[in-house]
Amino acid sequence: MDTAGSMLYEGKAKKIFAAARPDQVVHYFKDDATAFNAEKRGTIVDKGVVNNKVSERLFTLIEENRISTHFLKRLSDREMLTKKVAIVPVEVVVRNLVAGSLAKRLGLPVGDAIEPAIVEFYYKNDALGDPLVNDDHLRLMNVATPGVLRELRELAHKVNAVLKPFFAERKMQLVDFKLEFGLFHNKLILADEISPDTCRFWDMGTGESMDKDRFRKDMGKIEEAYQEVLKRVCG
């Protein structure tokens, strides 16, 4: 029976519990919402349900395309069983269009296409605000070897090649998104979640935001946007 045991960790969006097997864990998806390194906090009703079901669909799609993930099965509306990984402390961001911090940093027009897509690394450290780093910084801090960084970049591009056309078929532009990876029996696999919390989506017809930017920027209709993503992704 796959039921949650003692809580191992609580993050901004999820709680992680022990599972029946020591090499597995149960993720519980919360409705808590944070932005700007948790300076802004709130609640998005049923966000946890949406993110759990959307992540299930996308992890399944990615697995079908021969990219390994930590996903095993969805246990309930808010719970997912996964492999227990050692997270690599590097957030991997893939950008298909100019938006967000990239536009601010480089002064590029929002919405400009990036071809081919670019991959950015951020050091996963709340105390430092998850700073943008390059390969040399990560080597300096002994966070990841050059070989691991190459693999992270390659896997990120492979995931993008799967997700970008999938969303386009659903009239959604995959503007950019964040991935996290972990080691499972010394193999690098995709972990965490893929959801409106970790992706930036624009409706292809209206250009409207369909993700957590609606919470960040007080745009309203946040729950409606999340539910629309769930509808388009999971039918």
* Sequence-ordered list of residues with C-beta below 8 angstroms from that of 17, at least 6 positions apart, any chain: 4, 5, 6, 7, 8, 25, 26, 27, 28
Full-model pTM:
0.95
**pLDDT reading at 160 higher than 70:** yes
**pLDDT reading at 2 higher than 90:** no
**pLDDT reading at 139 higher than 60:** yes
Domains and CATH numbers, the chain: 7-83 (3.30.200.20), 86-223 (3.30.470.20)
Instruction: Give the whole-number percent of the chain exceeding pLDDT 90.
Output: 94
**pLDDT reading at 1 higher than 60:** no
**pLDDT reading at 118 higher than 70:** yes
Residue in 131, 175, 129 with CA at minimum distance from that of residue 36: 129
Give the model's confidence band at 37: pLDDT under 50 very low, under 70 low, under 90 confident, else very high.
confident
